[in-house]
Structure 1
Amino acid sequence: MNLPPTLDPDRHALFIDFDGTLVELVDRPEDVRISRQAVERLAELQRACSGAFALLSGRRIADLDHFLSPLAFAAGGVHGLERREEPGGAVVPLAGPAGLDPVRLILSVGVTEEPRLRLEDKGTALVIHYRGYPELEDAAMELVNRSVRDEPGFAVMKGDNIVEVHLGGMDKGKALAAFMTREPFVGRVPVYLGDDTTDEFGFAAVKALNGVSVKVGNGPSEADYRLAGVDSVHRWLGVEPVSQDDGIREAS
């Protein structure tokens, strides 16, 4: 395993995915949990990097705020379709929910016909979940592809037990590149950690900027480095190991 170099807060800009990277994947996304120590360590790293720290996630920024409170941070949510350029700043949507209405209708009918599929409506993106039912992968992909067949301008992305659709023209790599043009990120070396196929866009952007790309977990990747899983990410970030019951904050 090609382990990443030690983080250098004086010259690196740190970008981190959330699900599968900072927290373990679970059947219900609202059930993820993260230790208080991990959140405190992220705050320390943010300060050490002079604020050059951002979360890049498929989740909405409001959801990230819920799980990582009281940490305030820059973020790209819904694969960059939401942007918050500085901690405490406004969340700016780069696309409105109305553009997805024709797709939303078809997906809503589809999950009614196959109730083991679940539709998550992020406003600026729609996600079909089939976690727990791997045999429904093809059905989920067919439903999403059918929903956009007559609707140009949409991007379909396959993730871990999900298929997501949103308006085209944005991904985590483009979001990362946009952050790198602004203070306090500009002039630093980007470091990006992610676990999913959607993170490959981020890895490509980092490599184009001669940065450090870190794949978390198994599977093929264009990343230059790899960490085994969420526990390894926490150790690399410098989070002290905690017991199962010590300092765990669970979503309500």
Structure 2
Amino acid sequence: MMEPPAIDPGRHALFLDFDGTLVGFVDDPAKVAIRPAARDRLEELAEALSGALAIVSGRRIADLDRFLAPLEFAAAGVHGLERRGAPGGKIERLAGPELLDDTRERLSETLAGNPRLRLEDKGTALVLHYRNAADLEDMARRAMDQAVAGRHDLVVMNGDNIVEVHPAGMDKGVALAAIMEAPPFAGRLPVYVGDDTTDEYALKTAREAGGVSIKVGSKDSVAEYRLKDVAAVHRWLGVPD
């Protein structure tokens, strides 16, 4: 894959994954921190793009806001189950936590017997982490599949050291397309940057829309362009050293 082109403030809308793209991975996801210079550069880019910069993540928007404070960009959280279509706007939630009550109950026995697994409850999604227990990957995936057996209204997604379940019909590509329908994004070409398996939906959507698709890392991808790692993303964005 080739190095990506520069961002064109007059034509592009920029969509950025968070973990593995703007920040590196840490053992405790609650303890990630973005470099102040990177946060400041995102603010500059959002202004240059007339607000057409969005963070697209599996995290909740409230968590993204905390990491990026005091900034509140347009965002899609929990793979699009939460959306904020414009900077500082209202957060829209497309589903409620009660849809996952039965799944929570079914996972409880596995969690009790395997304390190295950690369940992150996002309300509208459940994420089973095995970053510090790689030998339990098969168990985690099997437990989640069993927990959603017979539920056609839920979908399981496998990511980097996680297995996640959330209501069906939503992914990062659907979220990108929805955000692109309204100002300040409408009429622009989407530029999407992401590293995870879950980002492939949005990378495909951006490419099919005639935009720019950028994969972070070395994994196989539908993306047209590639950046090596978080540091390379920062350089491409113009973050000062």
Decide: shared fold, TM above 0.5.
yes
Asked whether the equivalents of residues 57 and 77 of structure 1 are also in contact (C-alpha less than 8 Å), the reply is: yes
Asked whether the equivalents of residues 15 and 192 of structure 1 are also in contact (C-alpha less than 8 Å), the reply is: yes
RMSD between superposed Cα atoms in Å: 0.8
1:237 and 2:237 aligned: yes
Asked whether the equivalents of residues 108 and 119 of structure 1 are also in contact (C-alpha less than 8 Å), the reply is: no
Aligned to 1:168: 168
Aligned to 1:63: 63
Matches within 5 A, 1:27-46: 27-46=27-46
1:194 and 2:189 aligned: no
Measured in 2, the distance between the counterparts of 1:135 and 1:221 equals 26
Aligned to 1:89: 89
Measured in 1, the distance between the counterparts of 2:87 and 2:183 equals 12
Question: Which segments of 5 or more consecutive residues in structure 2 lack a partner in the other structure?
Answer: none
Deviations 1:202-242 (A, max 9, x none): 0111012011000001111111000000000000000011x
Question: Which segments of 5 or more consecutive residues in structure 1 lack a partner in the other structure?
Answer: 242-252
Aligned to 1:248: none
TM-score of the superposed pair, with normalisation by structure 1: 0.94
Matches within 5 A, 1:79-228: 79-228=79-228
Stretches of 4+ aligned residues off by more than 6 angstroms? none
Aligned to 1:22: 22
Query: Secondary structure of 2:34's partner?
Result: strand
TM-score of the superposed pair, with normalisation by structure 2: 0.98
Asked whether the equivalents of residues 127 and 163 of structure 2 are also in contact (C-alpha less than 8 Å), the reply is: yes
Aligned to 1:53: 53
CA drift of 1:109 comes to 2.1
Task: Give the letter aligned to residue 178 of structure 1.
Answer: A
CA drift of 1:113 comes to 1.3
Measured in 1, the distance between the counterparts of 2:87 and 2:7 equals 21
